[in-house]
Amino acid sequence: MPIAVKSFFHQQSATFTYLVSCLDTHSSILIDPPADFDAPSATLTFTTANQIIGYITTHKLTLEWVLETHAHADHITAASYIKQQLKDKHPCKLGTGAGITQVQAYFSHFYQLDMPCDGSPFDALFDDGDRLLLGNTHFDVITTPGHTPDSVSYLIEGNIFVGDTFFMPDSGTARCDFPGGSAKALYASLHKLLALPDKTIMWMCHDYQPYGRELANNTTVQTQRLKNVHLQQSEHAYIDTREKRDATLSAPQLLHPAIQMNIRAGQVPHPTYSFLTIPLTVLL
């Protein structure tokens, strides 16, 4: 069944959002939409999300799902905002990997948030092999933990949306040092994706444009297998390289606001007057 893939690039977090539509029915899903956040003033805005909503409206698409590939640490999701904005046109559902309950349990304790850890406010939690309808076609959920325990990828008509697993072949793979992350688990997930047919188009969640090269967001499974700079080595060497590199990486700039918001699907605790927590580390 023919589908269309439209990507949007969020410069602030180098994140790609994908709007995937069934060309026959105009049913659509949206993967990883970001909100805009000004850290110094802690101000949340939705310019990017409004552009995406504008595209959906202009092209007369029916948004069925807003899907997350995982609880992001580098941007705040606009999932709940978009659901709210479109609710009078067509109710859409929020979906993510079932591992979100584990992420909620860990971080609600860490940030001392009083919230249920049952996956809500997401409407659906996905397990490996789940299959959902998109217009006249289906999409499949593949669990791909490692970067985070809730990471999933979405397979739609020969296109795989991989979240933070692979980056473009010249950039390697995602970090694994967040709570519940595991280089060994990511290695297994990467190979799970490499088992897909060679021509499967792989769509990235991020591109950081190494050495100033042009922005890129997709490649094929075959190209990843042959050229990904992190995968031309044994499992043992990969894990060792990954863990050593992760030990040198800084925390993402929006780590604390992003995680606190994203485990609630981007729901604002109070519409106009809310607080986020910043844990203090003191090194003497």
Which of 78, 14, 73 lies closest to 252, judged by CA? Answer: 73
Closer by beta carbon to Fe ion, 75 or else 83: 75
Binding site residues, Fe ion, CB under 5 A: 72, 164
CB of 88 to Fe ion, least distance (A): 32
Instruction: Provide the token pair at 112.
Output: 């001392």
Closer by beta carbon to Fe ion, 164 or else 207: 164
CB of 74 to Fe ion, least distance (A): 6
Count CB-CB contacts under 10 A for residue 180. Answer: 20
CB of 2 to Fe ion, least distance (A): 30
Count CB-CB contacts under 10 A for residue 58. Answer: 8
Closer by beta carbon to Fe ion, 36 or else 150: 150
Closer by beta carbon to Fe ion, 64 or else 164: 164
Closer by beta carbon to Fe ion, 72 or else 230: 72
Burial 71-86 (b: 16+ CB within 10 A, else e): bbbbbbbbbbbbbebb
Are 146 and 187 in contact by the 8 Å Cβ rule? The answer is yes
CB of 147 to Fe ion, least distance (A): 6
Q: What is the DSSP letter of 74?
A: S
CB of 66 to Fe ion, least distance (A): 17
Closer by beta carbon to Fe ion, 22 or else 190: 190
CB of 190 to Fe ion, least distance (A): 15
Task: Pinpoint the alpha helices (H) of the chain.
Answer: 47-58, 79-86, 100-110, 183-194, 221-227, 235-246, 255-262
Which residue do the tokens 């709570």 mark? 179
As a whole number of angstroms, the distance between CA 47 and CA 234 comes to: 44
Contacts with 241 (C-beta within 8 Å, 6 or more apart), sequence order: 230, 233
Which residue's C-beta sits nearest to Fe ion?
164
